[in-house]
């Protein structure tokens, strides 16, 4: 466990108090089969379960009684067959004791606990499930079909958890910095390997191997591609080509499941062309500009749109955009180039708590998501920043041929875009620069010991 028992005890106590009444179900994850039942993906515990219990074993469920304060850890002790194949592990009772939970029982007790609560008309709080076996388990317990479970999840529980997990303690920040240090090694290795003839998949394999060789893993499938204009492009077996850009978006997740997330874009030939340099400088400037805006009390929405306006100004200088900057951004014209938000919350999930619902993680009563506009509709964050939030800062400029064609055909935002010039950028790809930002008491700072090179002269003289 990453923290002392008392940390988990305190976190659960706070959660019970904030939820106020009823029982709270917190599901751990199970092993997940890849191609037959006993051939499983690497086990990944649920982040919320880890946050409150710190236990990495599969097949556990935590139950908190918000009225009485009682707590259970439910799970089945392993049998001799498991011991023979997988080795001895601690008993469920010992695990409960290790994280300060008073009661333990076999998993079959869960249905009795839930039935009793329902018979007494008590609220059964649960989170939106994202794994199918949990959906089935939840259906057995509550009668709710999986299609109704996201809607039926407890908003009070989600909000209480988001409040706790969003603000990172110094120890959590230290763990994210450990992930950033591994990310540094991954990205500087990718930059070194970025040479004509080397394949995208080779680079992805080597850098993910760095994470695994430290007992860690990638925080998401690495994006290593000459087609940077595809936001989550998979690495292909294609060899890198002279003159193109390689976009590498990758991160590490420590053994205790805290994540880093960085992106660098490197010219395969070692030097940027004039056109690449012009676009790169805009992204670099926007990336650094975020640092001057982000601080406690500021809405991330305003940081995002501050950057969109700055990007628009500079794209106008290149002749790619035109017209009034504020009007262009209001119309969403900048989303032709940056169709995503400036950043997302980070923590134990690389998109922290995304499974709980972005509306609750990144928005609130004051800042609501805007779903009617392309680009703005996929912002993952808008609300005011607080000290202890960790955010990614990841502006990008992309040239997406299909999007150019569609907007041109519809005349969408035609008063703000120079479609003839855009046409000549269709083979450009995309550029993104990403680092991880801690909101401090009076501003913010990048996380990690050393900055992964991103200034043009550092990249060209690598």
Tokens 């046409």, residue located:
423
Beta strand pairing status for 262-267 and 245-250? antiparallel
Minimum Å distance from CB 448 to Mn ion? 14
How buried is 270 (Cβ within 10 angstroms: 0-12 exposed, 13-18 middle, 19+ buried)? Answer: middle
Per rule CB under 6 A, is residue 261 in the interface with ligand GLY? yes
Minimum Å distance from CB 219 to ligand GLY? 8
Per rule CB under 6 A, is residue 352 in the interface with ligand GLY? no
Residues whose CB falls within 8 Å of the CB of residue 397, separated by 6 or more in sequence, listed in order: 279, 282, 283, 311, 315, 337, 338, 430, 431
Per rule CB under 6 A, is residue 249 in the interface with ligand GLY? yes
What's the Cα-to-Cα distance from 439 to each of 38, 97, 294, 387, rounded to whole Å? 43, 35, 7, 5
* Residue 256 structure tokens: 């205790």
How buried is 14 (Cβ within 10 angstroms: 0-12 exposed, 13-18 middle, 19+ buried)? Answer: middle
Cα–Cα distance for residue pair 108/28, rounded to 1 Å:
15
Of 54, 33, 50, 52, residue with least CA distance to 42? 33
Minimum Å distance from CB 350 to Mn ion? 7
Per rule CB under 6 A, is residue 175 in the interface with ligand GLY? no
Minimum Å distance from CB 436 to Mn ion? 8
* Number of residues located near Mn ion, criterion CB under 5 A: 2
Q: Which of residues 62-81 bind ligand GLY (CB under 6 A)?
A: none
What would the DSSP string read from start to end of 290-347?
HHHH--TTSBHHHHHHHHHHHHHHHHHHTTSB-S-HHHHHHHTGGGGT--S-S--B-S
Q: Which is nearer to Mn ion, 293 or 390 (CB)?
A: 390
Minimum Å distance from CB 438 to Mn ion? 15
User: Which of ligand GLY, Mn ion, none binds 47 (CB below 5-8 Å, type-dependent)?
Assistant: none
Residues whose CB falls within 8 Å of the CB of residue 283, separated by 6 or more in sequence, listed in order: 265, 395, 396, 397, 431, 432, 433
Q: Which is nearer to ligand GLY, 16 or 344 (CB)?
A: 344
Per rule CB under 5 A, is residue 261 in the interface with Mn ion? yes
Q: Which is nearer to ligand GLY, 66 or 447 (CB)?
A: 447
How buried is 302 (Cβ within 10 angstroms: 0-12 exposed, 13-18 middle, 19+ buried)? Answer: middle
Per rule CB under 6 A, is residue 208 in the interface with ligand GLY? no
* Number of residues located near ligand GLY, criterion CB under 6 A: 4
User: Which of ligand GLY, Mn ion, none binds 436 (CB below 5-8 Å, type-dependent)?
Assistant: none
Three-state secondary-structure class, residue 460: helix
Q: Which is nearer to ligand GLY, 308 or 433 (CB)?
A: 433
Minimum Å distance from CB 344 to ligand GLY? 6
178, 180, 185, 190 alpha-carbon torsion, rounded to 10°: 150
Minimum Å distance from CB 186 to ligand GLY? 12
Cα–Cα distance for residue pair 329/332, rounded to 1 Å:
5
User: Which of Mn ion, ligand GLY, none binds 137 (CB below 5-8 Å, type-dependent)?
Assistant: none
Q: Which of residues 389-448 bind Mn ion (CB under 5 A)?
A: 392
Q: Which is nearer to ligand GLY, 202 or 220 (CB)?
A: 220
Three-state secondary-structure class, residue 78: coil
User: Which of Mn ion, ligand GLY, none binds 123 (CB below 5-8 Å, type-dependent)?
Assistant: none
Q: Which is nearer to ligand GLY, 22 or 343 (CB)?
A: 343
Minimum Å distance from CB 428 to ligand GLY? 20
Q: Which is nearer to Mn ion, 172 or 434 (CB)?
A: 434
Taking CB under 5 A as the binding criterion, the range among 54-62, 237-245, 253-261, 311-319 that sits at the site for Mn ion is 253-261
Minimum Å distance from CB 265 to ligand GLY? 13
Of 71, 41, 72, residue with least CA distance to 58? 41
Radius of gyration of the chain (CA): 24
Footprint of ligand GLY (CB under 6 A): 220, 249, 261, 344
Q: Which residues bind Mn ion (CB under 5 A)?
A: 261, 392
């Amino acid at each position: 466990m990453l923290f002392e028992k008392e940390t988990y005890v305190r976190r659960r106590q706070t959660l019970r108090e904030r939820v106020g009444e009823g029982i709270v179900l917190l599901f751990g994850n199970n092993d997940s089969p890849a191609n037959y039942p006993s051939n499983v993906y690497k086990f990944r515990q649920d982040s919320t379960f880890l946050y409150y219990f710190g236990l990495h074993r599969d097949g556990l469920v935590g139950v908190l009684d918000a009225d009485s304060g009682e707590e259970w850890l439910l799970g089945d002790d392993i049998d001799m067959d498991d011991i023979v194949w997988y080795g001895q592990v601690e008993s469920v009772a010992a695990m409960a004791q290790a994280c300060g939970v008073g009661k333990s029982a076999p998993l079959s007790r869960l249905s009795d606990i839930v039935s009793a609560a329902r018979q007494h008309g008590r609220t059964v709080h649960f989170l939106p499930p994202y794994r199918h076996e949990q959906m089935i388990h939840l259906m057995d317990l509550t009668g709710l079909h999986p299609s109704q479970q996201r809607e039926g999840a407890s908003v009070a529980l989600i909000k209480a958890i988001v409040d706790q997990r969003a603000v990172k303690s110094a120890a959590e920040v230290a763990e994210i910095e450990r992930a950033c240090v591994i990310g540094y090694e991954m990205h500087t290795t990718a930059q070194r390997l970025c040479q004509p003839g080397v394949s995208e998949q080779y680079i992805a394999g080597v850098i993910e191997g760095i994470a695994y060789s430290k007992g860690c893993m990638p925080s998401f499938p690495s994006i290593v591609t000459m087609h940077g204009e595809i936001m989550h492009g998979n690495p292909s077996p294609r060899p890198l080509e002279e003159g193109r850009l390689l976009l590498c978006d990758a991160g590490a997740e420590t053994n205790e499941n805290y994540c880093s997330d960085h992106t660098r874009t490197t010219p395969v030939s070692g030097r940027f062309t004039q056109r690449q340099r012009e676009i790169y400088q805009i992204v670099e400037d926007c990336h650094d500009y975020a640092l001057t805006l982000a601080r406690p009390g500021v809405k991330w929405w305003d940081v995002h749109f501050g950057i969109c306006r700055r990007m628009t100004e500079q794209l106008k200088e290149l002749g790619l955009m035109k017209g009034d900057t504020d009007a262009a951004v209001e119309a969403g014209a900048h989303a032709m180039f940056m169709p995503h938000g400036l950043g997302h919350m980070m923590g134990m999930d690389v998109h922290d708590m995304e499974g709980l619902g972005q509306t609750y993680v990144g928005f609130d009563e004051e800042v609501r998501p805007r779903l009617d506009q392309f680009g703005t509709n996929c912002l993952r964050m808008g609300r005011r920043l607080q000290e202890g939030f960790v955010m990614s800062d990841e502006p990008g400029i992309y040239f997406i041929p299909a999007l150019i064609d569609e907007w041109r055909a519809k005349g969408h935002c035609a008063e703000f875009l120079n479609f003839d010039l855009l046409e000549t950028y269709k083979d450009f790809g995309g550029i993104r620069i990403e680092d991880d930002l801690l909101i401090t008491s009076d501003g913010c700072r990048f996380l990690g010991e050393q900055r992964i090179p991103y200034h043009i002269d550092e990249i060209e003289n690598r």
